[in-house]
């Protein structure tokens, strides 16, 4: 977690959460549509391959979204991992 979010308690920003949910749903739907089109027409995937491809795309999309949502900074400015702090 970023240092500025740990220093003091914060209130929920419901407008941000609502806007994020709408934006994420639209982006997720767009990626699903592109995946469907590419798997069916481009790769001519069998049902098993289609389900596997869709699962992998959904998994990668969710992973990227978790990394983006965890901070308000740019993705490359806030690295995930354990932050060891010096004892006071």
pTM comes to 0.68
**How do residues 48-86 score in pLDDT, each as one tens digit?**
999 999 999 999 988 888 877 777 777 667 666 655 454
The larger pLDDT score, comparing residue 12 to residue 78, is at 12
Predicted local distance difference test score (pLDDT) of residue 62: 85
Tokens of 46: 């069998």
Tokens of 28: 């997720």
User: What are the CA-CA distances from residue 24 to residues 52, 61, 65, 84, 85 (Å)?
Assistant: 22, 10, 8, 32, 33
Q: Apex CA 51: angle with CA 48 and CA 36, to 5°?
A: 120
């Amino acid at each position: 977690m970023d240092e500025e979010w740990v220093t003091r308690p914060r209130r929920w920003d419901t407008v941000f959460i609502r806007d994020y949910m709408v934006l994420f749903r639209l982006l997720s739907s767009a990626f699903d549509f592109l995946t469907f089109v590419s798997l069916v027409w481009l790769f001519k995937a069998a049902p098993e391959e289609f389900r596997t491809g869709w699962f992998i795309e959904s998994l990668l999309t969710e992973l990227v979204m978790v990394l983006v949502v965890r901070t308000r900074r740019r993705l490359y400015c806030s690295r995930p991992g354990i932050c060891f702090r010096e004892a006071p």
